[in-house]
Structures are given as C-alpha cells and as structure tokens.
Amino acid sequence: MSVKVELSRRSDFPLLENQPELVYLDSAATSLKPRSVLEAERSYYEECCANIHRGLYRMSEEATRRYEEARHSVARLIGASDPDCCIWTSGTTDAINLVAYTWGEQNILPGDPIVLTGLEHHSNLVPWQNLATRQQARLRWIEPRPDGTLELDNLDELLEGARLVAFTWVSNVFGSISPVQEICRRARAAGATVLLDAAQGVPHLPCAVEEMGCDFMAFSGHKMLGPTGTGMLWSRRELLEAMPPFRFGGDMIREVWRDRCTFNELPFKFEAGTPNIAGVLGMGAAADYLLDVGMANVRAHELDLLTYARECLGSLEGFELLGPPLDQHSGALSFVYRGIHPHDLATLLDRENICIRAGHHCCQPLMRRIGMSGTARASLSLYNIRADIDRLAVALEKASQVFKGVLF
C-alpha cells in the first residue's frame, strides 16, 4: 500500500481528523472506528429503529434485513460459508464463556486435561480455570519462549488425553503469530476440540476459518474497527446443534408453554433477548470496510510498518524489542527502554500526544513467566503511518532525558 493510500484511509477515521496531533498506538486494546461504522450505527437509530425478528411492519423488516446482512459480512470476512454458524456475542470474552458454559459443561469431565498456552489473555484463561474448578478438570500449558513463540517440542505429550485445546492466534503482548494450522492438526489428531482466540488475529491477518482446523473461533468487533460490545463465535454446525443454549429468554425459543419450551434454530438459539442491534450493524460495516481494503493489503501495510518500526526503534540506545522474528510478527510491539518503567514511559509519551499501553496487558501469568511486571506496548492498525513511528522514536528519546542520571 502506498503512502498515498494510507493517508486517504486516515481521513476515513473521524477521531484522527478531530485530533490530527494524536499518535494512536493502542489498537490492540481497541481500534479506532471509520466513518462507515459510525454511520451504520447512527442510521439504525435515525432510520429504522425497530426491534428485529418480530415486527410485521416494513421498518422492522428493514432492521432484520440489515442485522442479517451484517452477519453475512462478518462471515465473509472470516471465510465462513454458513452464516448460521456465526453467533453474535458481546465480544471475545462472551464468546469464550458461551463455549465454556455449554460445550464445556457437556464435554469436560473430571480429570480431563484442558491445554492452554502461557500466552493467553485472561479472557482465554479464566473461563477455563473456572470450568476446570467446576468439573474437576486439569489445565496443561504449552510454554511460550521469551520472544512470544510457542515451544511445541512436547506438544504431543501435552495433548495425550486432552479434551480441549484453547489458544490465541496472535499474542496481544508480543504480537507473535501462533502456528494455528499445526496446533489444530495435531490437537484434532489427538482427539481434542480446538478453540481459537482470534481477537488479535481477525483485525490484522487474512482469515479462512474453515481451513484453519479449529472447532470454535472467538473474536471481538471493537478490535477490528467495529463498536465496543460486539463480537462473534464461529463454530461447526454439528457442534453448535449439539450444544445447549447459553442464555434463555426471548428470540432463542420456538414455542413456549408454562412448563417447557423448544429452542429456536441456529444461530438464534444462542442469541437470547434484544441484541446490540446498532453495534452489530457497526460490526458488519467494519467487516465491509476491511473487505474493501483487503486483508492481504492490511497485512502488507502492517508488515511494512513493523519492518520500519523494528529498524527505527531498534536503533535507539537501550531499546529492546520483546517479540518474534518479523515473519511471525503482527500488530503489537512490546518493548523495554533504558530501564524506564513502562508506566513512566506511558505518561511521558502521553505528554507528546502518543497513546501506548503499559503494564501486564491482562496477561499476569505470562508476565510472571518472563520475569517482568509489565512491558510497554505500541500496537498498530491500518490507519498508522511511518510518521507515527518517527514521532514515537523522538518522544522516547525525549522521555529518556527525564531519567538521565537516575537510571543511566
């Protein structure tokens, strides 16, 4: 993608227009939203603010049409051939909890091993920890190396008897890309079901969910240019049909008597109550936006930025990148700089209008494993440009002046 295209894309993001001095490098926490996403939400409330799947009037039909069209858009983005297998959730956490409370309760038995990696965000760890406690199951760990890549030499051993393998596509701390197909292939050969946490993958990498080999995939709307409070669970039809509902109430039923009910078909069986309709339309618009740019172009642009950032920041005295080799790198750059505590760095960079994340990144067990209390993290998206990296480099050097004579 040429610089010209990058700049035209930047003008799609009202926040960048409103704050031209801002350097936003925290997209792994949440991404900025393009105008089309905001417009999709606004137009729902202003043009067809009716409930879905109920009304017998045209405005309700229009709302239902937009809602289901959004599902098709996100299905296209992830390469899912059957939109009925794409369940709206409030985010990745909600999607993972859905699986833990339905499939997990049915299939995880006392003593069963659940295999996780040491890279997991709390959202793909705590639900399984809690399930393991409820079902007296055991957790096993694929260990990360210090650069965020995974140690797979003992994977077959870990997979022995495993019922479930849950792991992240891309680490939110290191930006390291997991070898998804290899882990899925070996896990399924060992008889395990696989859940992929794609929260940091879908916004950055081309996705063909049916070819990746996982059984479940969870991701969020707000990290892929969509609104907060949106997300999706994808799974295979036979798994979803065998699972009990997660939440009970309106819209997820077919017929209700005083003492019993029958459940609706997919995907509605898992979508009880009036959903976040405006949010869903926004997430659909975000998927359309990404499809329009093309995920291969998004990846190419980010690789260009990562290459530049690794060069430019890497040449600063005392800068140490915590991350994988470039070809396995996506999205997030974690680093330490001249011994300055990440919080001090974040405050000093904020003064220069640069937003980075500092701390444990919701990965406390990982931080303990690498022997750190936290890192500084700059994370990228398609609206970032090389000039953002230049500004970061200058601001880091300026920040270091505060601690000259104190730390070095």
Partner 1 sequence: MISDDLYREIILEHYAHPRCKGKLEAPTFRQDGVNPTCGDAVTVELDVKDNRVVRAAFEGVGCSISLASASMLTSLIEGKTLDEVRELAATFKKRMLNRNDAEPCPEQLGELEALDGVRQYPVRVKCALLAWNTLLGALEEAL
Structure tokens at 372: 């750190």
Buried b (16+ CB within 10 A) or exposed e, 222-253: bbbbbbbbbbbbbbbeebbeebebbeeeebbb
Distance in Å, CB of 320 to partner 1, minimum: 18
In this chain, which of 2, 18, 81, 401 binds partner 1, going by CB under 8 A?
401
Kindly write out the interface string for residues 176-195 of this chain, putting x where it contacts partner 1 by CB under 8 A and - elsewhere: --------------------
Distance in Å, CB of 6 to partner 1, minimum: 31
Name the residue nearer to partner 1 (CB basis): 76 or 341: 341
Distance in Å, CB of 172 to partner 1, minimum: 15
* Binding of residue 404 to partner 1 (CB under 8 A): yes
57: Cβ contacts below 8 Å, ≥ 6 apart: 50
DSSP three-state, residue 172: coil
* Binding of residue 405 to partner 1 (CB under 8 A): yes
Among 184, 261, 362, 363, which one carries the catalytic annotation?
362
* Binding of residue 343 to partner 1 (CB under 8 A): yes
Name the residue nearer to partner 1 (CB basis): 296 or 407: 407
Distance in Å, CB of 407 to partner 1, minimum: 7
147 class by beta-carbon count within 10 Å (0-12 exposed, 13-18 middle, 19+ buried): middle
Task: Supply the DSSP string of 89-128, one letter for each residue.
Answer: ESSHHHHHHHHHHTHHHHH--TT-EEEEETT--GGGTHHH
Q: How many residues does the chain have?
A: 408
Distance in Å, CB of 404 to partner 1, minimum: 6
Asked if residues 41 and 22 have their Cβ atoms less than 8 Å apart, the reply is no
How big, in percent rounded to 5, are the helix, strand and coil portions of the chain? Answer: 45, 15, 40
* Binding of residue 4 to partner 1 (CB under 8 A): no
362 belongs to the catalytic site: yes
Of residues 355 through 394, those in contact with partner 1 by CB under 8 A are 358-360, 364, 367, 373-374
Report the side by side order of strands in the sheet with 113-117: 86-89, 231-235, 216-220, 193-197, 164-168, 113-117, 138-142
Instruction: Enter the DSSP assignment of 397.
Output: H
Name the residue nearer to partner 1 (CB basis): 1 or 402: 402
Distance in Å, CB of 93 to partner 1, minimum: 17
CA distance 61 to 55: 7
* Binding of residue 344 to partner 1 (CB under 8 A): yes
Kindly write out the interface string for residues 290-329 of this chain, putting x where it contacts partner 1 by CB under 8 A and - elsewhere: ----------------------------------------
- Interface residues with partner 1 (CB under 8 A) are 341-344, 347, 358-360, 364, 367, 373-374, 401-407
Which sequence positions are flagged as catalytic? Answer: 362
